[in-house]
């Protein structure tokens, strides 16, 4: 059973606004429309991708996320859901890979292999849209509540993030530093790198 904080997070993000990066990414996909949503949570990105006529493969480690999405998309045969982790998921071939606020929680020791799988799943000219946690985020420090949220945290510097994209053309790179409160009401300092990039042929 997920924590009450995770349940609250899913509840608060069911209909969250689509991020501009994902809108840009969708416009950069040139032919077949097949997407993978990694760590799909409550399914808001799945919903947007379906509105743009993508076939969507989506996975999440949380049973609650997958059961929520199964209910939400129960009549939609073009949403293919799996309960899996970044490491265990069998990545199909795709023209778009989305990983919004999810690779933050990939165990460090798995990330090299996971990143290779993500890159290999993209067809030539395929597009990646996702975000990475920076060192100044609250989650990178001692105040992050690992009992309530996902315990593994992957922190990358700007240089490390950019290095991941040596075989891609970066279309958008932005660093976000904001302060606010989590859906649970806790103060939070966000430090996030968002990237949209096209895989080289
Ligand atoms: C902050 S939420 C983001 C959810 C969604 N992408 C969004 O933007 O609304 C992080 C998601 O990553 C999932 N997650 C955490 N660790 C994971 C792992 N090792 N493998 C796959 N998904 C994971 C969580 O269950 C959660 O749904």
Q: Whose CA is nearest to atom 14 of ligand 1?
A: 39
CATH code where residue 49 lies = 3.40.50.150
Q: How many domains does the chain have?
A: 1
How confident is the model at residue 44, as a pLDDT? 98
> Separation of 40 CA from ligand 1 center, angstroms?
6
Which of 39, 59, 66, 87 is the pocket-test mutation for ligand 1 (most atoms within 8 Å of CB)? Answer: 39
Q: Whose CA is nearest to atom 9 of ligand 1?
A: 41
Taking only the tens place, the pLDDT of each residue in 184-197 is 788 899 999 999 99
* CB half-sphere exposure, 70, CA atoms < 13 A: 11
Taking only the tens place, the pLDDT of each residue in 35-56 is 999 999 999 999 999 999 999 9
Question: How does the average pLDDT of the chain come out, rounded?
Answer: 96
What pLDDT tens digit does each residue of the chain (201 aa) get?
788 889 999 999 999 999 999 999 999 998 799 999 999 999 999 999 999 999 999 999 999 999 999 999 999 999 999 999 999 999 999 999 999 999 999 999 999 999 999 999 999 999 999 999 999 999 999 888 888 889 999 999 999 999 999 999 999 999 999 999 987 788 899 999 999 999 997
Domain range for 156: 4-199
């Amino acid at each position: 059973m997920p924590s009450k904080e995770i349940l609250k997070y899913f509840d608060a993000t069911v209909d969250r606004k689509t991020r501009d990066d994902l809108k840009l990414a969708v416009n950069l996909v040139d032919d077949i429309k097949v997407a993978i949503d990694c760590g799909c949570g409550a399914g808001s990105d799945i919903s947007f991708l379906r509105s743009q006529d993508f076939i969507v493969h989506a996975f999440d480690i949380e049973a609650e996320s997958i059961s929520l999405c199964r209910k939400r998309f129960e009549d939609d045969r073009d949403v293919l859901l799996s309960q899996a982790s970044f490491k265990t998921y069998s990545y199909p071939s795709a023209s778009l890979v989305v990983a919004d606020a999810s690779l933050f929680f990939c165990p460090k020791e798995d990330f090299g292999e996971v990143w290779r799988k993500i890159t290999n799943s993209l067809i030539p000219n395929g597009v990646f849209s996702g975000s990475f946690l920076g060192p100044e985020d609250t989650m990178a420090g001692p105040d992050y509540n690992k009992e309530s949220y996902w315990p593994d945290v992957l922190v990358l510097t700007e240089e490390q993030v950019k290095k991941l994209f040596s075989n891609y053309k970066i279309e958008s790179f932005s660093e976000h530093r904001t302060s606010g409160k989590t859906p649970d009401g806790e103060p939070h300092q966000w430090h996030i790198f968002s990237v949209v990039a096209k895989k080289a042929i």
